[in-house]
Structure 1
Amino acid sequence: MSELKAKRTCRRGGMVVCLLLLLAVVSAPAAEAQTRLIVRDSLGLPGINLTCLLTGCNVVTGLGDPDGQLFLVTFPAILDPVTSILRLSLQAGILSVEIDQVVNTQQAYASSTPSYLTDEAPVYYYGTTVWHGYVAQPGNQLIRTNQTHSTFNAAGAGVIVAVIDTGVDPTHPVLKAVLVSGYDFTRNVSGGSERADVNTTPSSSTAQTAEVNQRTVAVLDQRTVAVLDGSQYSAFGHGTMTAGIVHLVAPQAKIMPLKAFLANGTGYDSDILRAIYYAVGHGAKVMNMSFDYSSYSAELARAIRYANSKGVVSVASAGNDGLRTVVYPGGLPGVIDVASTSNSDIQSTFTNYGAPPVWMAAPGEGVVTTYPWGTYAAGWGTSFSTPFVAGTAAVMLGTNGGCSSSSSVPYGLAAADYIGDLDMGFGRLDTYQAVLACQVLP
């Protein structure tokens, strides 16, 4: 309730009042922590350097926006956060200031282990061997990816999909051939691997399949991967899993791993902004964003508008609160907001719903996908619905896909299967119908 009042007041008040209210309600840092702020300065780097010289802040890094105006700055813990914001807001050239809020990857409840998770029969799939349960799982059959590949000879070739997440295991045999150079924004190093978050590697001969409950932890056979037993690893594998679903749908697309989240599922707004600008600047045509902000970020909205202006398709998860509500970036204009349905085409109990902002739905229960160390996992949540749509967008934009890359939302995606639920937007994703629409419509 207090957050709602703050937002209403922000509509009536000025920038400084809004910042103070949102700081107090949403993301006031701990007393011992530095105050992290995202600042836009019309004077660029020289301007923000001078401002910090005058106010006592520290310029940590530029955030990669094309105008060179956006920066992460910190104030020492000795200064009150409110004082820090006021000091910045009154300086010449400062256009905006917002809290560098903490963002979370999506969470959801897990159900019983699906039988197809243990279907390890080897199947050849676009240059590598995969488990039969991965390609034959119900969700993949519902959206008709295999039929799409064979009918149209379209599998995402020529398209790069940026996966903004916890990183990707670059050694996974299913994914390593399709990865392009990425970046780890949590460590400021190239690559984008999430295996840097752990300091052990299980024996590949004894690794077990994983059952992931993103509300708690990734649960593996504790004889082999005991290191994952703890909240600090609650989202470990999340990025490898979302990347695996993109690959399942668009096996010829390239995947760009952009690590903006730690293994515990948390990341900073500033790192996500850097990832978006990096993706656009390095040739991505689709962005998969399986995370949400509970509070609106003006700079996030600006970054998405920039991506859209460059023809990048932005796909985001609707969230797993089981509510008729709006989260971001899914709720932003130009973003395809994806809810979850079961393998029986029923709205998932955990998914957020309501159209708008929900644009469409995709399978999100018991989804089998890749997991670090060469194994597989089953996951539940809109995190795993979203890459089905991102992969489909890649197929549509790729070789023989038939869709123009000039639009931020390929029009063929609306050719979904209506499942009798208006809260699920256009309906449940049908990859075949989406590509067919691109083939036959002008």
Structure 2
Amino acid sequence: MRAGRTTIAAAATIAVFAFAAPLARAAHSSAATAHESSVAPGRVLVAARPGVDPRSLAASATGRAPRVVPGRPDLVVVETTPGDEAATAARLRGRPGVAWAAPDGIAHIAAVPSDPYFAVQWNLRDRSVAGSADWAPIWGTGITGAGVTVAVVDTGVTPNPELLHVLPGYNFVGNNTNTSDPNGHGTHIAGTIAQATDNAVGVAGVASGASILPVRALDSAGAGTYDTIIAGIEYAVAHGAKVINLSFGGDNDGGLCDELARATSAGVTVVVAAGNSNGAVAYPAACPAAIGVSATTLTGAPASYSNHGPQIALAAPGGDNTVDLNGDGHPDGILQYTFSNGVGGYYFLSGTSMASPHVAGAAALLLQSAPGITPAQVRAVLMATATDLGTPGPDDRYGAGLLDIAKAVTTAASENLPSVPPATTSSTGAPGVTRLAGASRYATAAAVSQAGWSNGSTIVYLASGTAFPDALATGALAGREPGPLLLTAPCSLPGETAAELSRLRPLTVTIVGGAAAVCDTVAGQVGQITGATVQQLAGADRYATSVALSRAGWVTADTVYLAGGTAFPDGLAGGALASHGAGPLLLTAPCALPGAVRDELVRLRTTHVEVLGGTGAVCDAVVQAAASATGAIVTRVAGTDRYGTAASAAAAGWPSSTTYVYVASGLTFPDGLSSGPLAGLTGAPLLLVPTCSLPATVAAALQQLHPLHVEVVGGTAAVCDAVLSRLAAASAATA
């Protein structure tokens, strides 16, 4: 998605995420590949911090009267000179009282059209059709989405005999109540969700009993500005929608992620098309709170146009209007009733715009099957029951796999619902070795939290999941004042994290890092979800933040641990060692001891400093400075590389056997960050490994430690399955 005034496009492209064709023929839309302007000329979105009037704030900063975004009293649109949007936003971000500012973006629809009848709706058949959503087995069970309102925020929805439950909505393009669809995109999407079924006419829909709330936020060309889209989402939440479908995309966040987090926190499941440019996932599908949906074809293969990336939650049928692989005489697009050039009929469309409403309809079925199910549980059920295709485990093309509606409904109806987002703990055939993982870094952190704090926690730590420095020293404090470390996007709280915070019921949530790492918006969301006291521990930089953490936990400390603050590996293992040794972990520049850190060493009256890492990480000048400032004995815990240093830390803290050992990737930081507090809770070391090999130093450490249980934290993309059997063999051996 684009940052400024971003146009939303149907899943055919960033401009439109769909491709259309009538029942008799299919035509590939050129709009599917067009790349349109991503910024609304001369417009900037400005969000105010709590208690600040955004109108006076923006007016004083720009000298122009702003316009409040409907439904968002904290958000305004201000006018600026066309071409100066980015500069104006940057200038506004530096003013007190501003939570965030960004050029108003434009998003575009994402679909492809074609024509009628259930016989050609391969996408709703059972799994005898490889690429279907497996809807047919639940027809006749009475599960139709009845009582659930699904908002279609799109080009509008035109009433027709095939849509029986359309509620009054609103048109934010024309600022009136006429929600008719001049494009046909929104009507087609509404049909996939809730087309009248078993009425001896036309085609079927996934959740025919659901009510459609039409919200027009896109113009006749399928484009819409971010402020209009945000207003539309707010309207949908305020008017009772429990599911929102967004089949469009833009180039960047521009406030969309914040809006989706607000909707999810209000109990609304938000399903978003990934986009049709065969590139990175568009916004808002890339937002943590979104259920991002990629597209597949009749054979179950990834659609050639579908965007892909780690933000994909699962895949669903999007079709391909350019082929007829089943030989039924029709294109392999998605068939629903809609309008083209004012003519109503059954049209085939293809694109991620067509994939997401399958998932939105499935969400409605789950909400009928299990009233009260949360957005995080809807996500968890959909992902846990998806058919794993492509590379084993979650991948960038399919996410968790291809939507399986029948399995999802059966799981929801069983009332055996997950309490957190999809996390997996499995032996994978390696005795004594299990894997603890989620579909994303945020879900993995939630899974780690559940493993260690199954009955909740009075204290929770929250840090950025996109940058490591602030959180690196948290493991030591979490060992002294136990609580899990959850991760968040900088300016929006992921659905997985929100769900886990709700489950934990904390009294205090400590956000680690300043506003540049975790925005004030997140603090507000955390407070709303938990009702807890929300505090922030931060310093002027990463080194001062580590000092703040130390001051929060220690008056004095006999032993202090010191690690480089410009790289993460030594600090990950050092955090577990520091927790075990009951001392704080401070960070240092590679060859200069920061003044704030020197002063903290003196304040703590430490007698022993353990430096993590070799001279390439922390040079001898820092060792000498620490010794000179404190008079303490300074020793170095190091190996020949990051894996050897982690092994040396384990040997230093655990000279004999231990019950547990945690293992995380040494190449990426998120899983290791969330592992630290759990390692501290169980009194265990943390070892690091490459993606698909076991270093000799790590194998030797496992032989020495001889653990009963080895817990690998992170999915197969972080630590592949081949490593697990090697870990098991090394743990079983004796040194």
Same fold (TM over 0.5): yes
Taking a change above 3 Å as real, the CA distance of residues 146 and 86 of structure 1, as seen in their structure-2 partners, is: closer
Provide the rounded CA distance (Å) in 2 between the counterparts of 1:374 and 1:402: 36
Q: Kindly provide the amino acid, as one letter, of the partner of residue 309 in structure 1.
A: S
> Which residues in structure 2 correspond to 1:30-179 (within 5 Å)?
35-42=42-49, 47-49=54-56, 51-52=58-59, 55-65=62-72, 68-75=73-80, 81=85, 84-85=88-89, 88-89=92-93, 93-106=97-110, 117=115, 133-134=117-118, 137-141=121-125, 142-151=132-141, 153-170=142-159, 172-175=160-163, 177-179=164-166
> Which residues in structure 2 correspond to 1:262-301 (within 5 Å)?
262-297=219-254, 299-301=255-257
Q: CA deviation at 1:51?
A: 4.2
Q: CA deviation at 1:50?
A: 6.3
Asked whether 1:347 is paired with 2:335, we answer no
Provide the rounded CA distance (Å) in 1 between the counterparts of 2:376 and 2:70: 23
- Output one character per residue of 1:147-192: Cα deviation in whole Å (capped at 9) or x when no partner: 21313x100011000111111112x1112x3111111111111242
> Which residues in structure 2 correspond to 1:163-312 (within 5 Å)?
163-170=152-159, 172-175=160-163, 177-195=164-182, 236-247=183-194, 248-297=205-254, 299-312=255-268
SS at match of 2:312: coil
Structure with higher RCO (Cα < 8 A, 6+ apart): 1
Provide the rounded CA distance (Å) in 1 between the counterparts of 2:57 and 2:415: 55
Q: CA deviation at 1:146?
A: 3.4
Q: Kindly provide the amino acid, as one letter, of the partner of residue 266 in structure 2.
A: K
Taking a change above 3 Å as real, the CA distance of residues 386 and 57 of structure 1, as seen in their structure-2 partners, is: same
CA RMSD for the aligned pairs?
A: 2.6
Q: Kindly provide the amino acid, as one letter, of the partner of residue 344 in structure 1.
A: T
Please report the TM-score for the alignment, with normalisation by the length of structure 2: 0.44
Structure 2, gaps ≥5 residues long:
4-36, 126-131, 195-204, 320-332, 417-735
1:332 is aligned to 287
Larger CA Rg, structure 1 vs 2: 2
CA contact (8 A) 1:334 1:408 kept: no
Taking a change above 3 Å as real, the CA distance of residues 428 and 295 of structure 1, as seen in their structure-2 partners, is: same
Provide the rounded CA distance (Å) in 2 between the counterparts of 1:80 and 1:334: 30
Please report the TM-score for the alignment, with normalisation by the length of structure 1: 0.71
Provide the rounded CA distance (Å) in 2 between the counterparts of 1:404 and 1:242: 25
Provide the rounded CA distance (Å) in 1 between the counterparts of 2:314 and 2:91: 44
CA contact (8 A) 1:162 1:258 kept: yes
Q: CA deviation at 1:348?
A: 1.1
Q: Kindly provide the amino acid, as one letter, of the partner of residue 358 in structure 1.
A: I
Taking a change above 3 Å as real, the CA distance of residues 83 and 358 of structure 1, as seen in their structure-2 partners, is: closer
CA contact (8 A) 2:47 2:54 kept: no
Q: CA deviation at 1:45?
A: 8.5
CA contact (8 A) 1:314 1:334 kept: yes
2:316 to 332, 348, 362: 362
1:412 is aligned to 381
Aligned length, in residue pairs:
343
Taking a change above 3 Å as real, the CA distance of residues 95 and 417 of structure 1, as seen in their structure-2 partners, is: closer
Provide the rounded CA distance (Å) in 2 between the counterparts of 1:28 and 1:402: 41
Percent identity over the alignment is 31
Taking a change above 3 Å as real, the CA distance of residues 440 and 321 of structure 1, as seen in their structure-2 partners, is: same
Structure 1, gaps ≥5 residues long:
4-25, 118-130, 196-235
CA contact (8 A) 2:38 2:250 kept: no
CA contact (8 A) 1:61 1:71 kept: yes
Q: CA deviation at 1:82?
A: 6.1
2:575 is aligned to none
Q: Kindly provide the amino acid, as one letter, of the partner of residue 110 in structure 2.
A: Q
Provide the rounded CA distance (Å) in 2 between the counterparts of 1:85 and 1:358: 29
1:402 to 370, 393, 399: 370
Q: Kindly provide the amino acid, as one letter, of the partner of residue 374 in structure 2.
A: S
Q: Kindly provide the amino acid, as one letter, of the partner of residue 106 in structure 1.
A: A
> Which residues in structure 2 correspond to 1:372-387 (within 5 Å)?
372=339, 373-387=343-357
Provide the rounded CA distance (Å) in 2 between the counterparts of 1:407 and 1:392: 13
Provide the rounded CA distance (Å) in 2 between the counterparts of 1:259 and 1:419: 35
Taking a change above 3 Å as real, the CA distance of residues 261 and 436 of structure 1, as seen in their structure-2 partners, is: same
CA contact (8 A) 1:51 1:91 kept: no
SS at match of 2:235: helix
